[in-house]
Chain A
Amino acid sequence: MVTYIVRRLVTAALILLGASFLVYLLTAASGDPLAEFRASSSPNKQQLMDSRSALLDLETPAPLRYFKWLGGAAQCLVPFAGTCDLGKNIAGQPITDALGHALVQTLTLVTAATILAILIGITLGIITALRQYSSLDYGVTFMAFLFFSLPIFWVAVLLKEFGAIGFNNFLRNPEIPLPVAIGVGAVFGLVAIVVAGGDARRRVLMGGTVFAAVSAILVYFSVTLWFKTPGLGPVVIAIAGVGLAFAVTLLTAGLRNRKALQSALIAVGVGVVAYFVIQPLLSQATFLMIVLLAVATVLVGMGIGYLVGGYDRGQSMRAAAITSFLLGLLIVLDRFMQAWPAYFNNSRVRGRPIATIGAGTPNIEGDFWILGLDSFTHLILPTTALILISLAGYTRFTRASMLEIMNMDYIRTARAKGLSERTVVMRHAFRNALIPVATIVAFDIGGLIGGAVITETVFSVRGMGFLFLDGILHVDPNPVMGVFICVAITAMVFNLIADLAYSALDPRVRVKA
């Protein structure tokens, strides 16, 4: 195992050397660094060209310049020496600084999008696999391919026009006319008909219920101007909590496991009480506090499960822990909603919360909730765009993986034993189907920091992609190399992790030692 890893790392280093040399030469050959001065009629044109030449060291041939660069870059390998030198960009900023900043920008942009795309993609993939060749399957396949086929800058422009400008206009006077409410309800109803399984009667019933519920909620929102002062309140949280308790128990333990259901419901009860208790605490929230509270919530959930016990204590603990975690999320969501009016009327926001550009409102001041909302309103559009286009891959991949597993002998064995369909799907199929998906996810995380060039351009986020593109446009190899090195190293490391994880998760795959 160790030999394998060492060998992989050594090869990786060699590959990195070779590839970086190529990339350097390519960047140097990709354009004319003096282009902007060529057609100038300025009397000191030559002087400007000379100074740019000196800045980029154009006198030295590109291969030699690479070794100069490598000399500086090699110092990065010395740990804690702080001598890392990746050169400077044209603006005179050290690449190491620029990279650090760009990395943060990119990660804020893509992290949520990737996590959500993975979660939604896997869920959809499993559902479509279980309902292969149903109308739902065809619908999801079509939508996935459709979104995959859309150029992202197209999606982005549309999102800005309708998701930001349109929605903000709506927020000015958030009244939903009755026909619109009914229309939206009808759309949701139709979706429900497609999604719902079973015979026609059940589907229509389902569709009708959803239609009525959605329309009613929208009318209620409109009447109470809910969008101006949104909130869930303890009642909604309690009702939703009970629903969650049932759903979580159904998935993790099965409703027949009364003890598990019991502990989940107790967790909901505790959560609703906690809702009132921690409100003052939440008013002074910090990020760390929220994390600690989340940990505490999960621990309390596990504690409840442990105390309730039952024949399978583990299941009860799991059900209660997941339920209380989700309930905690609801409480946090409610607190964010409470902060909404303050954010909405903030003098920097001026009643147009959803942003089309950037990663935050300049100079905004406020507590954790206001700042959190600010990030949220800025990230929602790019995140949506990224999710839409990357959903296809995960959905199709999970679906294929799940279908293959469902055809396996051990699944048949499990069924033959008389296990319930839930147990077969959740315990036997789902986990095994996730093995290849898990490795894909590892690869994707490795590729994450490469940034999303076009998304960054459209939403004016100056992350890794922008740095890279800007370097190419100025024919300046330093930023290009900086981004390249970061991306290549993470990609290779995660590549290795993925391979190791695969062999760890699936004992049939062995790494060659």
Chain B
Amino acid sequence: MSQPSQQDEIVAEQANLKGQQAAGIEPVIEARGLSQGQIVRKRFLGHSGAIVGLVVFAIIFLMAFTSVGYAGIPGWWKYTHEAVSPLANDGAPTASLWPLAWGEHPFGQDRIGRDLFAMTMRGAQQSITIMVVIGLIAGLIGVAVGALAGYFRGWTEAILMRLTDIIIIIPALLLAAVMAQFAGRRDEGSWFASFASTNGVLALGIFLGLISWVGLARLMRGEFLTLREREFVDAARISGASNARIIFKHILPNAVGVLIVNVTLTMSAAILTETALSYLGVGVKSPDTSLGLLISQNQEAFTTRPWLFWFPGLFIVLICLSINFIGDGLRDAFDPRQKKFNPKKARDTGSPLAPGQTPVAAQEGSAGDRAAGGGAASGDKGA
């Protein structure tokens, strides 16, 4: 259930209050003469884990969306996830490393002859869609609620935060079950039911998005609570800026690091949530497919036709890993306060940096990291 997730964020919130004090004490040397954007980009590109993650994710993304086509646009792969073709090689994968060959069905086929590569790609599409939808919705609502509550305080805050409290304790599994219900009802006539039945994945993503914003909202509220007390906000207010301008132009850019980091981690958790829900039978429904559904459908094939189990699983792990590493890199990149702690340097002061440790890559460990750490802990795997 989803309890631990958001609670972690409260701590992150408080940690944030604290991190503020450490800020600015250490002048960040490598940032001299660069704009904020340049610094972030430079740091991100210097984070090898994040770059590898980004490349892997880009490849998967391109493969998934171009191979089997998307939204009616045909792809370059000869099969679709629904097309049935005669069993070749008894359904086993035809791809081989030596001689390097792709074959007719590189990942194999399921029992009625659907191409597993096409299905995996379709599944990856669905998983990525869910991830993006959840990220967008959770991000938007979370920022809006958090900003309003943190900036205006008073009644707005009380009402919004109590609302978050209520949503926090409603189990995701239950909502997904209700969602699955709607997706199953085609003929009820309501616009929502018909939307849900034709766009099962989108609807599921929206539903999950509608409950995953709470953690982010709490975190953003914490950011806003500290930032609104800062001098530059006072300055803006005195010079007559409107509330909207202060929120969007002055505070939000300063909170964007925490925001992006947390959204990426919500997204990687979202993939696992989808997997767990499909496993429990309340996620995506066949004949459409998702990575989670594929492995849960084929778990019986684990020892007999392992490819049905391993390929989709591999893609889940790859997507998740790459998103986590991208998030890790973003976290490092976005936190201007960070400085690398070096015990050796601490011991014999004056010695140069240890070889191989670029100062660029040297940020870690403050509020942002915490938030993300909390986010990672929060991954509702439904475990």
**A/B: CB atoms within 8 Å of each other:** yes
Residues of A whose CB lies within 8 Å of any CB of B are 11, 14-16, 18-19, 22-23, 26-27, 29-31, 129-130, 132-133, 138, 141, 145-146, 148-154, 157, 161, 386, 389-390, 392-394, 396-404, 406-409, 412, 415, 421, 436, 439-440, 443-444, 446-447, 450-455, 457, 468-469, 472, 480, 484, 487-488, 491-492, 495, 498-499, 502, 506, 508-509
Flag whether B192 is at the interface (Cβ < 8 A): no
* A145 partner, pick from B4, B170, B276, B325, beta carbons under 8 A: B325
User: In the complex, what residues of B have CB within 8 A of residue A409's CB?
Assistant: 25
Q: Does B18 contact A (CB under 8 A)?
A: yes
Partner-contacting stretch, out of B138-146, B195-203, B244-252, B375-383 = B375-383
Q: 4 tightest CB-CB pairs across the interface, nearest first? A: A403-B365, A393-B377, A149-B320, A400-B369
Task: Give CA–CA (A453, B273) in the complex, Å.
Answer: 12
* Contact of B374 with A397 in the complex, beta carbons under 8 Å: yes
A14 to B169, CA, bound (A): 13
Is B205 in contact with chain A by the CB < 8 A criterion? no
Given A149-B324, A492-B169: A132 and B364 interface contact (C-beta under 8 Å): yes
Residues of B within 8 A of A488 (CB): 169
CB-contact partner of A495 in B7, B25, B173, under 8 A: B7
Over the window 344-371 of chain B, the binary record of Cβ atoms lying under 8 Å from chain A Cβ atoms (1 yes, 0 no) is 0011000000000100011011110110
Complex: A329 Cα to B227 Cα, angstroms: 50
User: Quick one: CB contact mask for B174-199 with A, threshold 8 Å, 1 for yes?
Assistant: 11011001000000000000000000
Q: Are A454 and B316 in contact, CB atoms less than 8 angstroms apart?
A: no
Q: Is the CB of B374 within 8 A of A440?
A: yes
A149 touches B22 (CB 8 A): no
Across the interface, do A389 and B328 meet the contact criterion of CB distance under 8 Å? no
Beta-carbon contact of B373 and A151 below 8 Å: no
Residues of B within 8 A of A148 (CB): 320, 324, 376, 379, 381
Q: How far is the CA of A506 from the CA of B367 in the complex (A)?
A: 16
Q: Which residue of A lies closest to B269 (CB)?
A: A148
Distance (whole angstroms) from the CB of A113 to the closest CB of chain B: 10
Checking B302, B303, B341 against A403 with a beta-carbon cut-off of 8 angstroms, the contacting residue is: B341
Contact A406 B174 (CB under 8 A): no
B372 in contact (CB, < 8 A): yes
Q: Of the candidates B11, B162, B365, which one forms a contact with A129 in the assembled complex, judged by CB atoms under 8 Å apart?
A: B365
In the complex, A146 Cα to B314 Cα: how many Å? 11
- Docked Cα-Cα span, A251 to B272, in Å, equals 39
Given contacts A154-B295, A393-B378, A400-B365, contact A499 B383 (CB under 8 A): no
Contact with A along B322-351 (1 / 0, CB 8 A): 001100100000000001111100110000
Please tell me if the beta carbons of A19 and B8 are within 8 angstroms of each other in the complex.
Answer: no
Residue of B at shortest CB range from A394?
B377
Answer yes or no: B256 CB below 8 A from chain A CBs.
no
- Cβ-defined contact, B372 with A396, below 8 A: yes
Are B370 and A469 within 8 A (Cβ)?
A: no
A318 to B295, CA, bound (A): 51
CB of B356 to closest CB in A, whole Å: 9
Contact residue among B3, B342, B347, B364 (Cβ-Cβ distance under 8 Å from A450): B3
Q: Once the chains bind, are A22 and B170 in contact (CB under 8 Å)?
A: yes
B17 within 8 A of A: yes
Across the interface, which residues of B come within 8 angstroms of A393, CB to CB?
4, 8, 373-374, 376-379
B7 and A498 within 8 A (CB):
yes
Residues of B within 8 Å of A492, CB to CB, are 169
Q: For the complex, is B86 an interface residue (Cβ under 8 Å from A)? A: no
Shortest beta-carbon distance from B251 to chain A in Å: 22
A397 to B375, CA, bound (A): 9
**Sample (27) of A-B pairs whose CB atoms are under 8 Å apart:** A15-B162, A16-B169, A19-B170, A29-B181, A129-B341, A132-B340, A132-B341, A132-B365, A133-B340, A151-B279, A151-B381, A153-B296, A154-B313, A397-B374, A399-B369, A400-B366, A401-B373, A407-B339, A407-B341, A443-B3, A444-B377, A447-B1, A453-B173, A457-B280, A468-B171, A469-B280, A480-B174
The answer to whether A31 touches B181 (Cβ under 8 A) is: yes
B residues near A161, Cβ cutoff 8 Å:
302-303
CB-nearest residue of chain B to A31: B181
Closest chain-A Cβ to B199's Cβ sits at a distance in Å of: 20
A31-B181, A161-B303, A390-B383 as given contacts; A397 in contact with B171, CB under 8 Å: no
Question: What residues on B are CB-neighbors of A450 within 8 Å?
Answer: 1, 3, 171
Contacts A403-B365, A487-B169, A498-B10 given; 5 further ones with Cβ under 8 A? Answer: A154-B313, A436-B370, A440-B11, A443-B11, A491-B7
A392 contacts which chain B residues (CB < 8 A)?
376-377, 379
Which residues of chain B from 147 to 180 have any CB-CB distance to chain A below 8 Å in the complex? 162, 165-166, 169-171, 173-175, 177-178
A19: chain B residues within 8 A (beta carbon): 166, 169-170
Q: Which partner residue on chain A sits nearest B313 by CB separation? A: A154
CB–CB A399/B373 < 8 A: yes
A454 touches B357 (CB 8 A): no
For A469, the closest partner residue in chain B by CB is B280
A-binding residues in B (CB < 8 A): 1, 3-4, 7-8, 10-11, 14-15, 17-19, 22, 25-26, 49, 162, 165-166, 169-171, 173-175, 177-178, 181, 268, 272, 275-276, 279-280, 282, 292, 295-296, 299, 302-303, 309, 313, 316-317, 320-321, 324-325, 328, 339-343, 346-347, 357, 361-362, 364-367, 369-370, 372-374, 376-379, 381-383
**Chain B CB within 10 Å, residue with most, of A27, A152, A468:** A152
CB distance from B158 to the nearest CB of A (A): 9
Give the contacting residue for A509; candidates B14, B19, B299, B313; CB below 8 A: B14
Contact pick for B22, options A407, A452, A499, CB 8 Å = A407
Looking at the assembled complex, report how far the CB atom of B346 sits from the nearest CB atom of chain A, in whole angstroms.
6
A148-B324, A393-B377 known; A408+B22 contact, CB < 8 A: yes
Contact status of A133 and B366, CB under 8 A, knowing A31-B181, A151-B295, A389-B381: no
Q: Which of B177, B178, B339, B373 has the most CB of A within 10 A?
A: B373
Instruction: Decide: A397 near B364, CB < 8 A? Known: A157-B302, A508-B18.
Output: no
- B361 & A27 in contact (Cβ 8 Å cutoff): no
When the two chains form their complex, are residues A151 and B170 in contact, meaning their CB atoms are under 8 A apart? no
Please give me the residue from chain A that is nearest to B167 by CB atom: A19
B317 adjacent to A150 (CB under 8 Å): yes
Contact A133 B357 (CB under 8 A): yes
Q: How far is the CA of A455 from the CA of B276 in the complex (A)?
A: 11
* A469 CB, nearest partner CB in chain B, Å: 7
Contacting pair B383 A30 (CB below 8 A): no
Report the separation of the CA atoms of residues A509 and B12 in the bound assembly, to the nearest whole angstrom: 13
- CB pair A452–B169 under 8 Å, yes or no, is no
Whether A23 touches B299, Cβ cut-off 8 Å, given contacts A149-B324, A439-B11, A452-B383, is: no
A138 to B374 Cα, complex, angstroms: 19
A146 to B165, CA, bound (A): 31
> Can you name the residue of chain B whose Cβ is closest to the Cβ of A146?
B321
Among B8, B177, B292, B341, point to the contact of A406 (Cβ < 8 A). Answer: B341
Cα distance, A390 to B376, chains bound together (Å):
9
Cβ–Cβ < 8 Å partners of A11 in chain B: 162, 165
Which A residues are CB-close (under 8 A) to B324? 145, 148-149
B317 touches A447 (CB 8 A): no
A502 interface neighbour in B4, B14, B178, B268, Cβ under 8 Å: B14
When distances are taken between beta carbons in the complex, the residues of chain A under 8 Å from B1 are 447, 450-451, 453, 487
